Amino acid sequence: MLTAIYPGTYDPVTNGHVDVITRAARIFDRVVVGVVGNPHHKTPMFEVPERVQFVKDALEGIVDNVEVAVFSELVVDFARRWDAKVIVKGLRVVSDFEWEFQMNQLNRHLAPDIETVYVMASAQVSFVSSSGVKEIASFGGNVEELVPKAVAVRLKAMFPNGRGGAPLSDHE
C-alpha cells in the first residue's frame, strides 16, 4: 500500500485543498491529511479541532481512502509515523514554488527516502488561498464558492457584517 501525506494548516480548508486531496486520493492507496497542530510561523484563526472537522466534513462522501490526523513534529517524522513514502504538496502559482522548493530540499536532506510530489491546483481554484479567503470574509465578502459549506457558514457567523481593518497575511 502506497501512503502519501498532505500536510498543512488548513486554516481553513479551501476548495483548492479539497481539489488536491481528491486528486491525490486517485493516485495513492491512502492519503493522510496532516493538520499542523502548532504552526510556528503563523497563528491560526481556527483551533485544531475545528480545522480537523472542516477537513473531514469537506471530504465526507467524496473519498474513502483519506484519513485526517494532527501533527506537531517535522513533516518527515509525520510521514514516517504513517509509513508514508510521499509528501503531497499543492502548487497554485509560481510564487508557491520558491517556498516549496526550499522545503523539498530540507526534507530530502532529512529523509532522502521520502519523495515530494507536486499537484498543480486546477484552474478553477488556482487563485484560492486560506489567507485570501479569511481576508474576503473579514470584510463581509462572499466566500461560498471558495470553501466547503461548513467553512463558509462559520466565516459568515464570525464576520456577519465584515470587520474592515488591516489585511490578514500568512503564507499558504
Q: 96-127 pLDDT, tens per residue?
A: 788 889 999 999 999 999 999 999 989 899 89
**Total domains present in the chain:** 1
Give 57-79 pLDDT, tens digit per residue. 999 999 999 999 999 999 999 99
What does the alpha-carbon distance between residue 140 and residue 122 come to, in Å, rounded to a whole number? 26
The pLDDT score that the predictor gives to residue 164 is: 52
CA angle 164, 45, 91 (to 5 degrees): 100
| CA distances from residue 48 to 15, 131, 164 in whole angstroms, order as listed | 19, 17, 25
Residue 153 within a domain = no
Give 119-134 pLDDT, tens digit per residue. 998 989 989 999 999 9
Residue 155 within a domain = no
- CATH code for position 20: 3.40.50.620
Q: For residue 8, give its domain range.
A: 3-122
